[in-house]
Amino acid sequence: MSDFPSSKYERGKIIAKTGLKVGTNYAQRYLKNKVSGKVEDERSFHQENAKEVFKEFTKLRGTALKIAQGMSMDQGILPDEFAEVMSQAQYSVPPINKALIRSIIKRELGGYPEQLFATFDATAFAAASIGQVHKAELKDGRRVAIKIQYPNVRDTIDSDLVMAKGFAKRLVKKGSNIDPYFDEIRDTLLLETDYLHEGQQIEHFSKRFTHINVVTPQWIEEYSTSKVLCMTFLDGRHLNEFIAENPTQEQRNHFGQLLWDFFHEQIIDHDYIHADTHPGNFLFMNDGRLGVIDFGCVKKFPVKFFRDYLELLPTHLKNDDAAIRSLFERLEVLKQNSSDGDTDQPYFEFAKNYGLTFSRPYTQEVFDFGDPEFDNTIRHFTKDAPLSNEPRGNKHFIYTTKVHVGLYNLLIKLKAQINTEKSKNILSKLLDISF
């Protein structure tokens, strides 16, 4: 019993149909504007096409909606209207039917919701790419959130990635090895569909972050399985709801600082990193704490790679081209001995300047992420990235970039002013440098 297509053929058909329809829409609009000499309202056009993509991806859930989440964090490649529509994939996907939810709980926990819980709200209050979340109350009075995984999501990961890899191989240079990148994504997605692993990570992060104003749920193991996750309920607002309240600059700075500090606290002891930095995974709580509510996508990066990744900051701040080039070669952004020719020079210049932009907050005691010039600079680099038919960068960049770009995206939307002193002290000790 399932609401979703699970075969490779069914899913491929939906993806192909969606791509053809949206592509045709853009081609027809281009020709119409050329003939008439008029430019129609771009905002509504982009929104309607984004809604079409989102509607079809919603049928597929899983990997497809993970792609939609990535679109929602875009910093310049796609029209802003696409990112706005795709942000729904972070926490407000249409839920599956209530009868199916009852059957999943019965199969996984051995009883129907009314038998297991004092109360259970059959209407989901949040839904995203892999599962949806319901409010409930345990018989001992604790308020909990029950996350229920959509049927067949885990089974479709391989078929979805096979399709995606097939498309990618048509675009990349013949002989390029893209397998490590897809293996990294596959391994991470499989872990995200293991709710027992997520429960263990909730416990792990809860113990690590008791000393700062960051709070996580508590895992309720006895009401959890690999496909049902029970955790204590956190009450707060997501980013868009918080911004809609027209918060003061002080409130924006407060939560922005917590996000910034949470990111830097994670790297102190080379432990797991929360690698899904998008608005749906954070709550702005009324008591001033920052809630972190999803721990499906966590990463522990190899020591050598992570050290090199962190070294990007001081190396860029020194603005030493030779040292930057050497580091890029170690991180596989550039080919080894790339200085022997000029083939890689466009990538070197782009990566260096992009790195300089990302290092700017560390050059000031207080950095204003609300400065539109900074936002425009990041968007400029994203749009002007040199095209390549070769995969570049170590496979672990997939998730370090997701963390770092996601953080900056959140802070830009918050228009937060961040004190960087504490973060620079952390990095100084880790890298034995001074700012």
With respect to residue 94, please indicate whether it lies within any of the assigned structural domains.
Answer: no
With respect to residue 130, please indicate whether it lies within any of the assigned structural domains.
Answer: no
With respect to residue 29, please indicate whether it lies within any of the assigned structural domains.
Answer: yes
With respect to residue 205, please indicate whether it lies within any of the assigned structural domains.
Answer: no
Domain boundary (89, 121, 151) is at 89
* Terminal Cα distance for the chain, rounded: 59
b (16+ CB within 10 A) / e for 271-281: ebbbbbbbbbb
Return phi, psi of residue 168, to 5°.
-65, -40
**Residue numbers of the chain with a pLDDT score lower than 50:** 1-2, 71-72, 76-77, 89, 340
- The pLDDT value recorded for residue 35 is 59
Q: Please pick, among 160, 276, 344, 375, the residue that the annotation labels catalytic.
A: 276
* Total number of domains in the chain: 2
160 is catalytic: no
Domain boundary (89, 118, 153) is at 89
* Enclosing domain of residue 410: 236-435
Domain boundary (89, 105, 123) is at 89
Closest CA to 312 of 338, 337, 330: 330
Could you read off the pLDDT of 40-88 as tens digits, one per residue?
Answer: 666 676 666 667 666 666 666 666 666 555 544 555 445 565 556 555 5
- The pLDDT value recorded for residue 316 is 94
With respect to residue 137, please indicate whether it lies within any of the assigned structural domains.
Answer: no
Token pair for 286? 């009324």
With respect to residue 127, please indicate whether it lies within any of the assigned structural domains.
Answer: no
With respect to residue 107, please indicate whether it lies within any of the assigned structural domains.
Answer: no
CA atoms of 395 and 183, how far apart (whole Å): 9
With respect to residue 184, please indicate whether it lies within any of the assigned structural domains.
Answer: no
Q: Taking the model in full, what pTM does it have?
A: 0.81
CA atoms of 435 and 427, how far apart (whole Å): 9
